[in-house]
Every structure is written in structure tokens, then in C-alpha cells.
């Protein structure tokens, strides 16, 4: 039996393996249920008491040598396998390019940062809204023709009282209503978010786009305050110092205006996008209609305010001179990589 132990010990110490299967065969040969060590321990039961002490020590020495060799081979083959994977010539070469933020996200962040400098905070609200927050609370009576200004997606929602007609919000003004209902003046917020219109997709229109609206309500807020706020934004974002406010109409503001920025006529592109006038429409704005304040529980005799809103896609297209709205939604890597750091 001592001769077998010495023979196996020599074989174990000399054994080498390069593949995982060879290591597994080695384990089965010595440590398996029908392995050599199991046979030796069965034979060990039959030896005399005088020999058991010596042979027991030798058996344990062999067992430890087998386990040590097995651990060494397993580590070696695992490292070899990892090395082979790292040097796989079929894998792509070169560094993986870093991603970058979408141009709409870049512009959205810049706009929010500019307004945060003058005390505006960000507010949010649901994209699936009821009629009150999208229309009625903003001075749109049920049969008011202004409801036809926006093509709306209507959906049915199951509730405790049966089906209720809901809409995908057509503007983020619904967040203004929620803010006025839940907060007491002063209110100074900007509301970015997705909005939806039932329109055909084209180079200039899309059924889903992004807006940022702003609302400021406090005592003695005037039209002049609104003009200076929007002039500050224009100077900070576009670097333009000349704006104009043209009379317009919105159901929820009175008086209402469209704000244009003087873009200039320094290039052929300037002539094209301004139609030769040098002026570009940027956003709509106006003083919050007293009826809107009263509908949300705010005393219109004590408080006044202004609101404004702009499309992020339009602002982004002007910033980067992009001529097709659909590029924002196609996920073309060739287009998006232009906006990396």
C-alpha cells in the first residue's frame, strides 16, 4: 500500500494540464466516488493497527497533494481562458465611443438653468390629463372656438364612475393650473415636458414634441416685468439684445403677445429663416387672465402674473440650424454624434 501511495504522489506532483477537461478528469481519477483515493481508504481499513498511524499520515499527505494540485490547475486554466477571451481576434478593436446627450436635452437644460438664476423652480405634471386642467381651467369654455386651435388626442379611462374622457395634454399649461390650485402666491415656476397634437408628421410638425412654459404670479406683477424677464432669457441664450412683442390671442392671457427676436441678416441662412425680415418668432406670452386666476382660487384683485411658452424643438432648430424636425426622433448616430463634448 505504501508503494501505491508513493507512486500516486509522484504522478500527482508531475501532472500538468492545459484544458479544463483534463483538470476534471484528474479530479475524477483521484477524488471521484470510484477514484483512487477512495480505493486506498477502503484498503486502509484492512491494515494492521501498527501500520495505521504511518499509513494514515501518508494517505492524508497524498489527499492534500491532490487537492493542492487541483486548486492550482483550476486557477491556471481559468486564467488561460480569460487571457484567450481578452485576445480574441474576432472581437471589435479600439475604444468604445462615449455617448452624448440629445440636442433637445442639451437645450432644455440650458433654458432651465437660465431661468433658475432668476428664481424660477421646475414643476411637473401628468401627461394624461382631464378636460379641466387642459382646457376649462385655462378659460376654454366647452364650445369655445379656441379649442379648435389644437388637435387633441382623446382617450377613455376606466374609473369608479365608469368611463371618463381624458386627453393627452396639448400644452404644459395644465401644470400651471395644478400649481395655482395647490400653491399660494408668489408662484415662480417653469414647466418642461412632452405634449401631444394630432398632426401629420412632417419636416416642420410632429405628433409629440416638447415645451417649456413659465408662470410668475405675485402682487404688482406687470407687463414690463414680463418683457424684462424674456429679454434676459434672449440675451443669455441667443446672445441677442433686441426683441419685440406683437399683439396676439391666447384664451388664458390678456393682453397676449408673440415675442420675436432680431436675428439679423448676416448670411444667406438668416435671410431664409427670417424670410428677409431679420425677425424670428420665439414664443407666446401674456398677462394671466383674471378669470384663470379666479378659477384656481387666486384673488385676481390682489395678484397678477404673466405666462410664456416655447417649443424646445423650435429653439433647438434655431440654435443648431437644423432644418428637419424628424431628425430629433430618428436616433441616427451620425446626426447625434455632432452634439458630443
Same domain assignment for residues 121 and 40 = no
Whole-number Cα distances in Å, 304 to 248, 273, 294: 19, 36, 11
How confident is residue 129, by pLDDT bands cut at 50, 70 and 90?
A: confident
* Domain-embedded: residue 6: yes
The CA distance from 187 to 192, in Å, is: 16
Q: Which of 304, 228, 181, 104 is nearest to 112 (CA)?
A: 104
Asked whether the beta carbons of 92 and 186 are under 8 A apart, the reply is no
In a domain, 95, yes or no: no
Q: Do 130 and 18 sit in the same domain of this protein?
A: no
126-135, 190-199, 301-310, range with greatest mean pLDDT: 301-310
pLDDT confidence bin for 104, thresholds 50/70/90? very high
Q: How many domains does the chain have?
A: 2
Q: Which residues contact 237 (CB under 8 A, 6 or more apart)?
A: 110, 111, 114, 315
Q: What is the mean pLDDT of residues 314-336?
A: 87
Assess whether pLDDT exceeds 70 at residue 145. Answer: no
Q: Distances from the Cα of 334 to the Cαs of 99, 100, 107, in angstroms?
A: 12, 12, 19
Whether this prediction's pTM lies above 0.95 is answered by no
Domain harbouring 292, CATH code: 3.30.930.10
Mean pLDDT computed over 2-25: 78
Q: Is 39 in the same domain as 125?
A: no
Q: Are residues 292 and 189 in the same domain?
A: yes
Instruction: Check whether residue 204 and residue 271 sit in a common domain.
Output: yes
Range of the domain at 79: 2-86
- Is residue 217 one of the residues assigned to a domain? yes
Per-residue confidence (pLDDT) for residue 203, from 0 to 100: 53
Query: Among candidates 299, 288, 313, which has minimal Cα distance to 188?
Result: 288
Angle at 327 between CA 322 and CA 331, to 5 degrees: 140
328 by Cβ neighbours in 10 Å (0-12 / 13-18 / 19+) ranks as buried
> C-alpha distances in angstroms, 168 versus 107, 145, 171?
24, 19, 9
Same domain, 10 and 108: no
Whether residue 93 has pLDDT greater than 90: no
pLDDT tens digit string along 41-79? 777 777 777 777 777 787 788 788 878 887 887 777 666
Amino acid at each position: 500500500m505504501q508503494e501505491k501511495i508513493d507512486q500516486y504522489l509522484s504522478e500527482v506532483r508531475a501532472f500538468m494540464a492545459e484544458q479544463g477537461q483534463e483538470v476534471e478528469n484528474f479530479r475524477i481519477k483521484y477524488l471521484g466516488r470510484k477514484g483512487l483515493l477512495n480505493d486506498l481508504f477502503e484498503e486502509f481499513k484492512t491494515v494492521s493497527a501498527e501500520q495505521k498511524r504511518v499509513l494514515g499520515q501518508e494517505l492524508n499527505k497524498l489527499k492534500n497533494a491532490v487537492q493542492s494540485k487541483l486548486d492550482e490547475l483550476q486557477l491556471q486554466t481559468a486564467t488561460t481562458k480569460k487571457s484567450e477571451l481578452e485576445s480574441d481576434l474576432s472581437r471589435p478593436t479600439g475604444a468604445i465611443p462615449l455617448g452624448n446627450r440629445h440636442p433637445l436635452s442639451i437645450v432644455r437644460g440650458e433654458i432651465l438653468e437660465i431661468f433658475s438664476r432668476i428664481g424660477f423652480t421646475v414643476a411637473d405634471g401628468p401627461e394624461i390629463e382631464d378636460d379641466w386642467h387642459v382646457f376649462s381651467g385655462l378659460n376654454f369654455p366647452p364650445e369655445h372656438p379656441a379649442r379648435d386651435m389644437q388637435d387633441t388626442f382623446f382617450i377613455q379611462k376606466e374609473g369608479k364612475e365608469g368611463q371618463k374622457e381624458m386627453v393627452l395634454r396639448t400644452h404644459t399649461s395644465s401644470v400651471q393650473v395644478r400649481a395655482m390650485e395647490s400653491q399660494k402666491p408668489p408662484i415662480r415656476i417653469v414647466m418642461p415636458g412632452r405634449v401631444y397634437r394630432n398632426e401629420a408628421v412632417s419636416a416642420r410638425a410632429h405628433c409629440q414634441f416638447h415645451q417649456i412654459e413659465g408662470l410668475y404670479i405675485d402682487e404688482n406683477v406687470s407687463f414690463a416685468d414680463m418683457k424684462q424677464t424674456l429679454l434676459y432669457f434672449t440675451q443669455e441664450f441667443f446672445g441677442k439684445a433686441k426683441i419685440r412683442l406683437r399683439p396676439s390671442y391666447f384664451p388664458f392671457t390678456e393682453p397676449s403677445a408673440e415675442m420675436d427676436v432680431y436675428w439679423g441678416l448676416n448670411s444667406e441662412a438668416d435671410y431664409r429663416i427670417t424670410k428677409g425680415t431679420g425677425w424670428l418668432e420665439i414664443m407666446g406670452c401674456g398677462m394671466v387672465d383674471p378669470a384663470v386666476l379666479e378659477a384656481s382660487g387666486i384673488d385676481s384683485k390682489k395678484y397678477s402674473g404673466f405666462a410664456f411658452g416655447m417649443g424646445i424643438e423650435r429653439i433647438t432648430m434655431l440654435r443648431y440650424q437644423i432644418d428637419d424636425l424628424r431628425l430629433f426622433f430618428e436616433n441616427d448616430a451620425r446626426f447625434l454624434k455632432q452634439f458630443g463634448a
